[in-house]
Amino acid sequence: MSGLKLFRTNTTNSGVTEVAPRLAEVEADVQGLVEAHMETMLGVRFLASEYSTGPVHGGRIDSLGIDENGAPVVVEYKRAVDAGVIHQGLFYLAWLMDHRSEFERLVRDRLGATAAAQVLWSGPRLICIAGDFTGYDVHAVREHRRSIDLVRYRYFGSDLLGLETVASVAGRAPAARPARQLAVGTGAGSSRSAALEELVSSVDEVLLGMGDGVNRIQRKQYRAYQRLRNFACVCPPQKTKLLVYLKAAPKQVDLVPGFTRDVTGLGHHGTGDLEVQLRTRRDLERAQELFRASYAAS
């Protein structure tokens, strides 16, 4: 993996041994492993493998899935470098957009009617997983109108798989509403409403600024901030607070009543098991370390 070296430490004599990276023997090895653990690795629920696009189109989509926000996902794999993987994936993504009812039937069969009714057709995604990409590939994805993630893989030793996001570009769909419009007003002259609107805007700025390739996905019930997977979800503000859900592990956080809460197993909009309650800019400053931890885990 570009520039990355992995070492196994020996606690007995304080020595280290480099674990050499390698490519898969065949492309199917990567595909099978990712499909078996797609939700954990990519934040995408697996729907189908080698999905036929019919006799007229004459192709097979490596993997079909649906992400945490309900967006359709095409996943294509290549063992090493392959200049055609992006164009091939876009070809299948175009087919998918022309066969929406077929995809929704697949979602209904696998995940139920509720999931099928909530497919986010404004944000279809292509994820390309390959041994490597060229600079031309990275430039090419920035010229397209679709959401594309380029993910480089490497095996390390016999039991380690590394995934590295090389490029992540959001599609040029209609822009999400400005962050201020998520705020719920309580009157034109309300200082409380104005303060919450300002807090929403500040949270939006902080989350988008976490690093390169952060995409913002607007849903009716929440706004997601995503690299390959969601790392934060912001709900419309309540009367006095703004709720943010993070992928940071609650058991690794010193929970503070009225500020952080473990919501594992509890129903809520968005994704993530750590709830952060923001009321003031000071709360936002306190939360930024948690934001960074969630971003790093995504």
Residue 283 is inside which H or E element, if any?
A: helix 281-297
Mean pLDDT of the chain: 89
Checking if the pLDDT of 161 tops 50, the result is yes
Per-residue pLDDT of 62-117, as tens digits, reads 999 999 999 999 999 999 999 889 999 999 999 999 999 999 999 999 999 999 99
Question: What DSSP character marks residue 36?
Answer: H
pLDDT, residue 11, reads 63
The answer to whether the beta carbons of residues 113 and 105 sit under 8 Å apart is: no
Q: Phi then psi for 59, rounded to 5 degrees?
A: -135, 175
pLDDT higher for 287 or 141? 287
Per-residue pLDDT of 221-241, as tens digits, reads 999 999 889 999 999 998 899
Checking if the pLDDT of 184 tops 70, the result is no
Per-residue pLDDT of 260-274, as tens digits, reads 999 999 999 999 999
Domain boundaries, the chain: 22-169, 179-297
Checking if the pLDDT of 124 tops 80, the result is yes
pLDDT, residue 8, reads 85
Checking if the pLDDT of 180 tops 90, the result is no
CA 235/CA 259 separation, integer angstroms: 15
- By three-state DSSP, how is residue 148 classified? strand
pLDDT higher for 175 or 50? 50
**CA 48-49-51 angle, 5° bins:** 80
Per-residue pLDDT of 8-59, as tens digits, reads 887 677 788 889 899 999 999 999 999 999 999 999 999 999 999 988 788 9
pLDDT, residue 177, reads 44
Checking if the pLDDT of 137 tops 70, the result is yes
Q: Which pLDDT band holds residue 211 (cuts at 50, 70, 90)?
A: confident
- E strands of 25-157, at which residues? 44-52, 60-67, 72-78, 125-130, 147-156
Q: How far apart are the first and last CA of the chain?
A: 18
pLDDT, residue 157, reads 87
Q: 22-169, which class in CATH?
A: alpha beta
CA 277/CA 241 separation, integer angstroms: 6
